[in-house]
Amino acid sequence: MPRIRLPANGWQPRPYQRELWEYLEGGGRRACIIWHRRSGKDELCLHWTAVSAFQKPATYWHMLPEAAQARKAIWDSINPHTGLRRIDEAFPPEIRDATREDQMFLKLKSGATWQVVGSDNFNSLVGSPPYGVVFSEWPLANPAAYAYLSPILRENGGWAIFNGTPRGKNHGFKTLQRALNSDNWFGQVLRADETKAITPEALAEELADYIGMYGADMGQAVYDQEYFCSFEAAIIGAYWGAEMAVAERDGRIGSYAVDPALPVHTAWDLGVGANLAIWFWQALAGKIAVVDYYQSHDGNIEAAAAEIIGKGYRRGTDWVPHDAKVRDIGTGRTRIETMIKAGLQPRLVPNHNPEDGRNAARVTIPRCYFDKERCETGIEALKAYRREWDEKNRTFKDNPVKDWADHPADAFRYLSMAWREIVGTPQPANDRLLSVGSMNTVRFDDLWDDRPKRRARL
Q: Is the predicted pLDDT of residue 36 greater than 70, yes or no?
A: yes
* Cα 157 to Cα 148: distance, rounded to the nearest angstrom: 15
Strand partners, 349: none
**Residue extents of the structural domains in the chain:** 8-195, 200-233, 245-454
CA 347 to chain centre: 29
pLDDT score recorded for residue 446: 39
Q: Are 414 and 268 in contact (CB under 8 A)?
A: yes
> Into which CATH architecture does domain 245-454 fall?
2-Layer Sandwich (3.30)
| pLDDT tens for each residue of 39-97 | 999 999 999 999 999 999 999 999 999 888 899 999 999 998 889 999 999 999 999 99
Average pLDDT, the chain: 88
CATH 3.40.50.300 is right for the domain spanning 8-195? yes
| pLDDT tens for each residue of 251-297 | 999 999 999 999 999 999 997 766 899 999 999 888 999 999 999 87
pLDDT score recorded for residue 21: 98
pTM of the model: 0.79
pLDDT score recorded for residue 213: 86
| pLDDT tens for each residue of 352-410 | 999 999 999 999 999 999 999 999 999 999 999 999 988 777 788 889 998 899 999 99
pLDDT score recorded for residue 214: 84
Query: 456: pLDDT confidence band, cut at 50, 70 and 90?
Result: very low
pLDDT score recorded for residue 440: 35
Q: Are 343 and 305 in contact (CB under 8 A)?
A: yes
Query: 215: pLDDT confidence band, cut at 50, 70 and 90?
Result: confident
Q: Are 334 and 327 in contact (CB under 8 A)?
A: yes
In the sheet with 96-100, reading across from the earlier edge strand, the strands are 96-100, 105-108, 113-118, 59-64, 132-135, 159-164, 30-35, 186-190
> What's the mean pLDDT in 150-157?
96
**H or E element at residue 195:** helix 192-195
Q: pLDDT above 70 covers what percent of the chain?
A: 91
pLDDT score recorded for residue 232: 83
CA 333 to chain centre: 33
Q: Where is pLDDT greater, at 273 or 142?
A: 142
